[in-house]
Structure 1
Amino acid sequence: MAPITDIQYYCFLFCILLVSTLLFRSYAKKPTNPSTFPPSPPSLPIVGHLHLIGPLLHKSFQSLSRQYGPLISLRLGFSPCIVLSSAALAMEVFRTHDLIFAFRPEFASTQFNIYNGSNFFTAPYGTYWRFMKKLCMTELLADRQLAGFVGVKQEEIRHFLRRLLESSESGKPVDVGAELTRLTNNIICRMAMTTRCSGSTYESEEVRKLGDEIAKLGGKLGLGEILGPLGKLDPFGYGKKLRNLIVQFDELLEKVLREHENDGAEGTNEGKDLVDILLKTSKDEKAEYKLTRTNIKAFLLDIFAGGTDTSAKAMQWTLAMLINHPDILRKVRAEIEFTVGETRLVEESDIHNLPYLQAVIKETLRLFPVLPIIGRECTEDCKIGGYDVKKKSRVLINLYAIMRDPDSWEDPDSFRPERFLMKSRENLQRQEEIKNQSSKFLPFGGGRRGCPGASHAYTIMHLTVASMVQCFDWVNGDNGLTEVSLEQGAGFNLRMAHPLLCFPIPVAKLQPLIPTVL
């Protein structure tokens, strides 16, 4: 049987929606007092506002918000939602009503996940979620724990540099995205399981591949939201495939857990990987929550399915912007040379002395947040921006639009890292400006459901980009064009539409250091 293409899938969804007009009436009741509810563009029966939505959801929402206001009500097929597109309204969700919006909405893929209810990322706000968040902040992703992985990160980045040098010597362009994904996966594998994912005979290589496939299938199933109850029929079998993949993932992780148990996970957490800490916590009779084996596996799935590819995509966008702005790349390199010198490679301890590099990373995340839209679910009736938001409402926060809002950012579509720099002599005068900036710069979300791994992600991005700039010049390898295409690809993550192919050219004075770092 021939494989089903994405185009066939989308056509099928559209046809189902049209046929459903003969079977269903729109179940969304009109409010008795429409003026108190968020404005809504004109809709069509059944399909709602789907005719207004293009392949780039965040851009479609941005366009609609500019026309109808920063808080609008939409219905995408059978899926009603509220879209929020301003920093002030986001702060009402993340601060004023943080507890009310501490739940993430469930999506179509949930019913096919054997870990449903145990995933930390999507878990309801309650005892389990609070326990895992505390464990992340005090043990799993605490500064002292991450400090123990400094050598791991440095070593994997040096492997990465060596691969770039070998590609340079072969004269072939490098698929930067593939290499960055390999790098981030290796780092996560070693942090989680004390083994590398790539080039290993260990189960970790399969774990990595399964994590990638699970993430892709979950995204396709998310499109089934527009079918409402019909999405549960799983017409293309994506749900069944997802369940089978997670079962395979579960079997591999069971082997990993048993091996760690045989090695022992007693004593302090110093020198332990994440699996060791999770197993030790599960045996703690005094713990606030009894962590189960399923909880551990679900947490690891969250890491592999969502925690590796995001950093890799962000670094792709950063390199693309530096190639397209060679003057900024030269400034970054000059800062590194001044701070680090020419006799060694940049290290993690150097990052805090590289403010311009930090500004470049922030400016890239402002323009290209890897998760451009994040979801929350309202657990009580409340008011946002003066409008009524009913209990159980899905609220989609368009980070992409917020961080390109001309009311919050001067010349918002331009790449200007200097906007994140603060001169020391202006500290006192700019404290309020910096405070305001933090409320409109939200690449990792906000509130209690903000990403707990943000600090780790920043470290990886800073160190990797610094190493790439310090050791190589970069030439676009796509059809000889000077500038890199910044066309965005469709999907829930903000990815580049085309692979980032580049020629890395070793910086002559640094080249002797690269082959000797391993």
Structure 2
Amino acid sequence: MALLQHLFLSTLVIMAVIAVLSKKKFRKRKYNLPPSPPKLPILGNLHQLSKLPHISLHHLARTYGPIIFLQLGEIPTIVVSSAKMAKEVMKTHDLALSSRPQIFSAKRLFYDCTDMVFSPYGAYWRHIRKICVLELLSAKRVQSYSHVRVEEVARLVDRITESYPGTTNLTKLLGLYANDVLCGVAFGRNFSAGGDYDRHGFQKMMEDIRELLGGFSIGDFFPSMEFIHSLTGMKSRLEHTFRRFDDLFNVILREHQEENKATELHKYLVDVLLDIQKNGCGEMPLTRDNVKAIILDMFAAGTDTTFITLDWGMTELVINQKAMERAQAEVRSVLGERKFVQETDLPHLPYLKAVIKEIFRLHPPAPVLGPRESMEDITIDGYSIPAKTRFFVNAWSIGRDPESWVDPQSFRPERFLNENSNIDFKGQDFELIPFGAGRRSCPAIAFGTASVELALAQLLHSFDWELPHGTQPKDLDMTEVFGITMHRVANLTVVAKPHFS
């Protein structure tokens, strides 16, 4: 059945897109485009993308160079895979490349792209980014939620301790931790209590949204034929996922509007947004759907960044025992006999911070950064590129570029204490861009980093970690699941021996 559907789709595509070919030939003659691999009629280079597009694009870059042109169906596309080219996209031409293409899945899930991540460049996007930077994710606001992080880290430790001497499904518990931090900060409630996490189906909802927003759905490359989304089942999946989130957000908003007990000191993110909606903010008031779109941004980005970084990080440390031992020794030397890490301890843990940078280098939560779209003709590295071209920055490939990194495939945190000690991930060093850079960079870097650092330091301090009896590091499945964010296909199961009896 799947094969017949695929053949049927291919036939429709061939019949409907044949008129596009002459336009593409004209464009090729007019513009001096970057190198490009051979194309197929109609599909262009789509056949060269596997289920893991970031890896396919990485291999193409190794053959054709750090900036390549792909014709993905109807969409002219530039892919950059080096720090130098990323700097061109996100700094030199940042303004011209600050818009987003209107992806079908994002339009449906994010209330017609009225969130911050997928909103096209313009007055509305500038307005809500200002709200996020100044009101929701400022340093003062992030610090005000320290108590939430501390409480949820303590709850994570308790959950892990309960499983000893048996094994721990650490992946699941890290997912609960990331979700609970986000829900505690955004809504002031813990959905994992009373089984709400499973009852609402958060795990499945997050998996669905990762996959649906991956940006490499066949229909997204043939925007003139929106019916493809119905034929592939994409539209019905989007509708189902949207309804589940929308129903949840309606409940949350109703609760907060009825209670209205938040103080300025401990105002949750949803209360901040509701205040802005109620009182107005400048000449562009927020609607209820705008508020829900921004909340979904928090779910999609805030939960996954923390969860994926911790899951990959603990996986790498379990495999690389010397790095594990060094990180544990550092944390325990700073804390001594004190059982719980305080956020004031974190500046005194340089190796831990190096570990986190190395995790971001090898396993950026978003392997291919959110797509950009050129608003005007530009020239990069001598190539002329027309307006309305889609741009992908392959952060995964940049983190493995031998031009930037010595022994790039190895997990070696000490590189950030030695030859790469001046490199950070906050958008100024284009060799390491897990959160992007420029106008479209993620404004939640401080929020995400705080949640990761405290939890990782506590896990290293509270437990001695090993794989279950009979399991070797080579037995771990390191396969990735591609989506807008990238997690491991297999859960990490470990034995966690409490360090404090």
Pairwise same-fold verdict (TM > 0.5):
yes
- Indicate the SS of the match to 1:81: strand
Note the alpha carbon deviations across 1:434-470, whole angstroms, 9 max, x for none.
9998221111111111011111111111111111111
Structure 2 residue aligned with 1:442, among 433, 443, 447? Answer: 433
Unaligned runs of 5+ in 2: none
Deviation at 1:236, TM superposition (A): 3.9
2:99 is equivalent to residue 107 of structure 1: no
- Does residue 20 (structure 1) correspond to residue 13 (structure 2)? The answer is yes
Superposition deviation, residue 220 in structure 1? 7.1
Residue 287 of structure 1: CA displacement? 2.9
1:499 lines up with 2:491 in the alignment? yes
C-alpha distance 65-15 of structure 1, shift in aligned 2 (>3 A): farther
Distance 1:221 1:42, change over 3 A: closer
Distance 2:328 2:273 in 1: 40
CA distance in 1 between counterparts of 2:77 and 2:95 reads 19
**How has the CA–CA distance of structure 1 residues 259 and 10 changed in structure 2, closer, same or farther, with 3 Å as cutoff?**
farther
Q: Which of 382, 390, 393 in structure 1 is aligned with 2:386?
A: 390
The yes-or-no answer on 1:50 pairing with 2:17 is no
Counterpart selection for 1:40 from 36, 40, 50: 36
Instruction: Quote the offset at 1:306 in angstroms.
Output: 3.1
Q: SS of the counterpart of 2:164?
A: helix
Partner Cα distance (1:254, 1:435) in 2: 34
Verify the 8 A CA contact 1:189 1:204 in the aligned structure 2.
no
Deviations 1:493-517 (A, max 9, x none): 322132211111222xx23xxxxxx
Confirm or deny that 1:453 pairs with 2:447: no
- The reply to whether residue 87 of structure 1 matches residue 79 of structure 2 is no
User: Match for 2:495: what amino acid?
Assistant: F
CA RMSD of aligned residues (A): 2.8
Residue 314 (structure 2) pairs with residue 323 (structure 1):
no
After superposition, residues 39-438 of structure 1 pair within 5 angstroms as: 39-113=35-109, 115-169=111-165, 171=166, 173-200=167-194, 206=200, 208=202, 211-212=205-206, 214-216=208-210, 218-219=212-213, 222-224=216-218, 225-233=220-228, 234-264=230-260, 269-285=264-280, 287-374=282-369, 375-421=371-417, 438=429
Give how far 1:112 is off: 3.2
* Cα pair 2:425 2:435 within 8 Å, conserved: no
Contact 1:153-1:460 at 8 Å conserved across structures: yes
Residues 412-449 of structure 1 show CA distances to partners (whole Å, capped at 9, x for unaligned) of 112221221269xx9xxx86999998221111111111
Match of 1:3 in 2: none
Deviation of the 1:482 alpha carbon:
3.6
Question: 1:480 maps to which residue?
Answer: 471
Distance 1:276 1:160, change over 3 A: same
The superposition leaves residues 351-378 of structure 1 with CA deviations (integer Å, 9 ceiling, x where unpaired) of: 1110100000001110111111121110
What amino acid maps onto 2:186 in structure 1? A
Residues 417, 390 of structure 1: CA spacing in aligned structure 2 closer, same or farther, 3 A cutoff?
same
Q: Verify the 8 A CA contact 2:96 2:375 in the aligned structure 1.
A: yes
Shift of 1:44: 1.2
Letter in 1 for 2:233: G
Q: CA deviation at 1:300?
A: 0.8
2:416/2:422 contact within 8 Å kept? no
Please state how far the C-alpha of 1:202 moved relative to its aligned partner.
6.8
The alignment-based identity, stated in percent, is 33
| CA positional deviation for 1:205 | 6.0
Cα deviation 1:183-233 (Å, max 9, x = unaligned): 111111111111001124779963846742650462478413245434434
Cα distance change, pair 304–437 in 1 and its aligned pair in 2 (3 A):
closer
Give the 3-state SS of the residue equivalent to 1:503 in structure 2: strand
User: Could you state the TM-score of these two structures normalised by the residue count of structure 2?
Assistant: 0.90
Matched letter for residue 120 of structure 1: M
Q: 1:317 to 1:293 in 2, by over 3 A?
A: same
Counterpart residue type for residue 458 of structure 2: S
Paired with 1:247 and 1:72, the residues of 2 have a C-alpha distance of 38
Q: For the residues of structure 2 that align with 1:102 and 1:486, how far apart are their CA atoms?
A: 34
Conserved? CA contact 2:416–2:423, under 8 Å: no
Given residue 146 of structure 1, which amino acid in structure 2 is its aligned partner? V
Q: Tell me if the contact between 1:176 and 1:501 (Cα under 8 Å) persists in the aligned partners.
A: yes
- Conserved 8 A contact 1:107-1:222: no
Q: What are structure 1's unaligned runs of at least 5 residues? A: 1-7, 512-518
Task: Give the C-alpha shift of residue 492 in structure 1.
Answer: 4.1
Distance 1:334 1:48, change over 3 A: same
Deviation at 1:251, TM superposition (A): 3.1
Contact (CA 8 Å) 2:361, 2:434: kept in 1 or not? Answer: yes
Instruction: Single out whichever of 359-368 and 223-232 deviates more from structure 2.
Output: 223-232
Contact 2:36/2:68, CA 8 A, preserved across alignment: yes
Contact 1:311–1:461 (CA<8 Å) still a contact in 2? yes
* Residues 261-295 of structure 1: CA deviation (Å, up to 9, x unaligned): 222268x6321101111111112245353111111
Contact 1:115 1:294 in 2 (8 A): yes
Conservation of the 8 A alpha-carbon contact between 1:217 and 1:242: no
TM-score, length of structure 1 as denominator length? 0.88
Change (3 A) 1:151 1:14: farther
CA 1:257–1:23 in 2, change beyond 3 Å: closer, same or farther?
A: closer
Q: How many residue pairs are counted as aligned between the two chains?
A: 494
Distance in 1 between residues matched to 2:428 and 2:280, nearest whole Å: 44
Could you report, residue by residue, the CA deviation over 1:82-122 in whole angstroms, capped at 9, with x for unpaired residues?
11111111111111111111112222314534711322210
| Cα distance change, pair 283–220 in 1 and its aligned pair in 2 (3 A) | closer
Change (3 A) 1:505 1:118: same
Kept in 2, the 8 Å contact 1:148–1:270? The answer is: yes
Q: Would the aligned equivalents of 2:31 and 2:386 in 1 still touch at CA under 8 Å?
A: no
Q: Name the CA distance, whole Å, in 2 between partners of 1:9 and 1:101.
A: 37
Deviations 1:308-345 (A, max 9, x none): 12321111111111111111111111111111112221
2:187 maps to a residue whose letter is M
> Residue 502 of structure 1 aligns to which amino acid in structure 2?
V
Instruction: Describe the shift of the 1:285–1:265 C-alpha distance in structure 2 as closer, same or farther (beyond 3 A).
Output: farther
Is the 8 Å Cα contact of residues 211 and 305 (structure 1) preserved in structure 2? no
The structure-2 alpha-carbon separation of the partners of 1:291 and 1:436, relative to structure 1 and needing over 3 Å to count, comes to: closer
Residues 335 and 187 (structure 1), Cα distance of their counterparts in 2 relative to 1, 3 Å cut = same
